[in-house]
């Protein structure tokens, strides 16, 4: 047997539904180059079989996927035409129509995989159900904003605020009831002034619609300090 299996031999072996035997198997066992080519062709063969077996109800990829496949085939056609203008050069197996199909499937698989990955990492859509302008109540405070958003994860209070000056204290976000007698803390605001806090629909239904940001001290007192920086009522 020659030093390497030629393209047609490797292609025939890859298309076969059984593993190589005899001299071909012995050569593949000792030749990394031919084994690598065989493995690639074998994978392509399996992809083609899988593509042919796709159910008729499968979702069609977007038009841009097929456009990319066609562009790949057009490039191959140009290469093919160049070969035909030569002096009777034999077209290798990797430029046969079968390989065109393989190239198309590989491009399709790569693009569809990329689409699925992008969809998997895309942030879930959010709907704003209420919002409020937070007006300054202290001399060193600046106007801020808050909104209630609804997503697949539920409701959340989103606070957008500037960097307040809190040298040795911390900022706390509250929802005050419309009766101005009850309030609940929803969390500590980071120093960058932008954060999201999970809340429940019941809190809104019970009238906790006034957003307040206060300056608190580390004094082991969990109640509101009375030092409010900004405040505003949520409106739908």
Find the mean pLDDT for residues 118-143: 81
Find the mean pLDDT for residues 187-202: 87
Find the mean pLDDT for residues 74-90: 54
- Alpha-carbon radius of gyration of the chain: 33
Instruction: Supply the pLDDT for residue 52.
Output: 55
Residue 197: phi, psi to the nearest 5?
-125, 125
pLDDT at residue 198 tops 50: yes
Distance CA(216)–CA(189), nearest Å, equals 11
Q: Which of 35-39, 174-178, 216-220 has the lowest mean pLDDT?
A: 35-39
Distance CA(210)–CA(180), nearest Å, equals 9
Identify the residue with better confidence: 85 or 48: 48
Q: Half-sphere exposure of 159 toward its Cβ, with a 13 Å CA cutoff?
A: 34
Structural domain spans, the chain: 7-121, 127-233
pLDDT band of residue 124 (cuts 50, 70, 90) is low
Give the β-pairing of 228-233 and 154-160.
unpaired
Nearest residue to 130 via CA among 149, 152, 108: 149
- Give the position of tokens 């539920």: 154
Q: Nearest 10 degrees: CA dihedral of 7, 13, 17, 20? A: -160
Distance in Å from the first CA to the final CA of the chain: 80
Question: Using one digit for the tens of pLDDT, what is the confidence trace for 32-55?
Answer: 888 888 888 777 777 766 655 555
Please give the order of strands across the beta sheet that includes 208-216.
183-189, 170-177, 208-216, 228-233, 127-136, 144-151, 154-160, 194-199
Find the mean pLDDT for residues 191-216: 91
């Amino acid at each position: 047997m020659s030093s390497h299996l030629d393209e047609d031999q490797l292609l025939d072996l890859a298309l076969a539904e059984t593993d190589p035997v005899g001299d071909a198997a012995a050569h593949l066992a000792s030749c990394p180059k031919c084994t690598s080519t065989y493995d690639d062709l074998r994978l392509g063969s399996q992809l083609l079989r899988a593509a042919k077996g796709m159910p008729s109800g499968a979702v069609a990829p977007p038009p841009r996927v097929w456009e990319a496949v066609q562009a790949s085939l057009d490039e191959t056609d140009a290469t093919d035409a160049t070969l035909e203008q030569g002096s009777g050069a034999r077209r290798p197996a990797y430029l046969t129509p079968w390989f065109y199909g393989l190239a198309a499937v590989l491009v399709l698989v790569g693009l569809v995989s990329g689409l699925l990955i992008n969809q998997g990492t895309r942030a879930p859509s959010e709907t704003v159900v209420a919002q409020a302008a937070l007006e300054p109540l202290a001399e060193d405070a600046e106007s801020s904003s808050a909104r209630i958003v609804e997503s697949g994860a539920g409701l959340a209070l989103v606070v957008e605020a500037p960097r307040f000056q809190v040298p040795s204290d911390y900022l706390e976000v509250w929802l005050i009831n419309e009766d101005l007698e009850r309030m609940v803390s929803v969390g500590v605001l980071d120093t960058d002034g932008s954060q999201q806090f999970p809340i429940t629909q019941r809190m809104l239904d019970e009238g906790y619609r006034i957003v307040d940001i206060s300056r608190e001290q580390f004094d082991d007192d969990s109640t509101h300090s009375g030092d409010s920086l900004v405040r505003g009522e949520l409106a739908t």
